[in-house]
Structure 1
Amino acid sequence: MPEPKISSSSPNARDSVTVELVEFLSYLRSLDINVFVEGDRLRCNAPEGILTPELRAEISHKKAEIISFLKAANRTSSFTPAPIVPMGRDGNLSLSFAQQRLWFLDQLVPNNPFYNVPAALRLTGSLNLRALQQTFNEIVRRHEALRTTLAVVSGQPVQRIAAAFHLPINVVDLRNLPQESRQTEANRLTAEEAQRSFNLSNDLLLRVTLLQLDDAEYLLMLNMHHIVSDGWSIGVLI
């Protein structure tokens, strides 16, 4: 008896086609090309100059497969998800994998500044220090990560989220220095702050220092530990 041939409708063949299609759609997405279904028509949005004749031809060639795939995906994702329920904050909260890695590195080399995330902003004009203080404390109130420290329980690191935490702003007045020396001193203090380490167990993992260079000129220094922040977070904070 001859061996049965595997037709194009076999599960393995279908899986292979699906994988190739997903890879192709992922590639389009990486180019910022958005492919979607509108009714029974395939639509495509792309930045100018990105959609080459070769890509247009390939999209056209796979048009029926793409429409079928996207319609199936839309049907699958049309369910109503269950609401996200916050976990209690009274127990031991485990670290994320990224936090575990950073905590381990901190234990390996204690008091290191390797994972500080510093930033500095120049402010000009009339500054309301009280409003600035209230602003940062409101940010800390809203974002649990900025009220988080790390403790060790039974040999394992856990997160401790404070219900409330007052963030002090250290103000350094440089106006007593000669005009030509103020920026130099500000640069020195900024570099020094960027290298100042955090104690992950006890310190608030956000520090704010305000340097006053003149009556209407300031330098606002921010420093966070990477275990609660990253470059994107700094942008959001600013």
Structure 2
Amino acid sequence: MRDLSARGVELALEGDDLRINAPDGALTPELSARVEAQRDALVTILARARESHAESAHVPDDPALSGPLSRAQHRLWFLDQLHPPALFLNLPCWVRLKGKLDVAALQFAITELGRRHPTLRSAVIGVDGRPHQVVRDAELTLQEEDLSHLPEGERERALEAFNARESNRPFDLRFAPPIRFTLIRVSENEHFLYYVTNHVVFDGFSHDLLLRDLKALYEARLEGREAPQAPGYRFTEYLRWHADFLASPAQTAELEYWKQKLAGMPAVLELPTDRPGPQEPVGGSTRQGLWLRRPRGKRPRKRG
């Protein structure tokens, strides 16, 4: 059912009935037949979200921080519900740390990171058949692993095994937080900071923001300075503005303009591939590492 997401088709429950919202031309006869064939499974998925566990459905500590998902988040959430466990939504990241490390200061920085960015403490629950993001009173913590006692060859294998295990451990989005941090000690002056999060609340651009704030908070703690001021706006505020905008006459006019401009365009661009793709996502991936020696690394840095 990947075509639903690709075509911008949204599904929701009204009572026990399945409601379908789709752009003009997106719901082809073939796709309609596939949806009808899997109607019971789709209703079950959406009903599961609506009847979320009681522990995850209580009113958030600060209602001002709750809100609907963006359209992109909604599509990813739907894939998470349709193909559990949706391991293809896990976003792992490694950061190599060389030199003396103050673990307590790093733990403080991670906890403060969660306080500054409520999205990292959020859960996604069903409200009337539609997903909502709510912020929980959850604290980000730092788990620790010590591999310094292992010989170098075994240490590399242990790191690979850790990555395979953690990157394939699913998130239950009904419960916060949707991110996990682990500090792996390789030697007294070398560590790896590993974190994995879910794509519903995180994207590629978010990595830069997270690492920038984490560095600033860690350095402030070491130097005894106050933590940098937290952002004065929240993602949920943007989502509310965007929801209002989508319902405004201005958006209606813009939508009509683009409907006319793109009239006759194919709903999905079918590109030739070297082999047939699977009908359902399998979530397979691989990893390729590349180290740049210092002389070669200077030029890309200057151009960046």
Q: What do the CA deviations read for 1:47-68 (whole angstroms, capped 9, x no partner)?
A: xxxxxxxxxxxxxxxxxxxxxx
Residue 201 (str. 1) matches residue 212 (str. 2): no
One-letter amino acid of the counterpart of residue 232, structure 1: F
Deviation at residue 180 of structure 1 after TM alignment: 2.6
Alignment-derived partner of residue 176 in structure 1 = 149
Q: Where does the alignment leave 5 or more consecutive residues of structure 1 unmatched? A: 1-87
Alignment-derived partner of residue 151 in structure 1 = 125
Alignment-derived partner of residue 94 in structure 1 = 68
Deviation at residue 111 of structure 1 after TM alignment: 1.8
Q: Is the 8 A contact 2:79 2:86 kept in 1?
A: no
Deviation at residue 92 of structure 1 after TM alignment: 5.7
Residue 214 (str. 1) matches residue 187 (str. 2): yes
Deviation at residue 237 of structure 1 after TM alignment: 1.2
Runs of 4+ that moved beyond 4 A = none
Q: What do the CA deviations read for 1:161-208 (whole angstroms, capped 9, x no partner)?
A: 12x321121101112322331122112212321222111001411110
Q: What do the CA deviations read for 1:192-233 (whole angstroms, capped 9, x no partner)?
A: 212221110014111101111111111111111111111110
Alignment-derived partner of residue 74 in structure 1 = none
Greater helix fraction, Structure 1 or Structure 2: 2
Residue 165 (str. 1) matches residue 174 (str. 2): no
Instruction: Output the CA distance in 2 between the equivalents of 1:91 and 1:160.
Output: 7
Q: State which structure, 1 or 2, has the greater radius of gyration over its C-alpha atoms.
A: 1
Matches within 5 A, 1:119-138: 119-138=93-112
**SS class of match (1:114):** helix
Instruction: Output the CA distance in 2 between the equivalents of 1:197 and 1:128.
Output: 30
Greater strand fraction, Structure 1 or Structure 2: 1
**SS class of match (2:155):** helix
Q: Is the 8 A contact 2:122 2:133 kept in 1?
A: yes
One-letter amino acid of the counterpart of residue 197, structure 2: M
Q: Where does the alignment leave 5 or more consecutive residues of structure 2 unmatched? A: 1-61, 212-304
Matches within 5 A, 1:96-115: 96-115=70-89
Please, what TM-score do these two structures have when normalized by structure 1? 0.59
Instruction: Output the CA distance in 2 between the equivalents of 1:217 and 1:90.
Output: 42
Report the count of equivalent residues.
Answer: 150
**Which of 113, 129, 137 is residue 139 of structure 1 equivalent to?**
113
Instruction: Output the CA distance in 2 between the equivalents of 1:122 and 1:91.
Output: 33
Residue 187 (str. 1) matches residue 139 (str. 2): no
Instruction: Output the CA distance in 2 between the equivalents of 1:181 and 1:112.
Output: 30
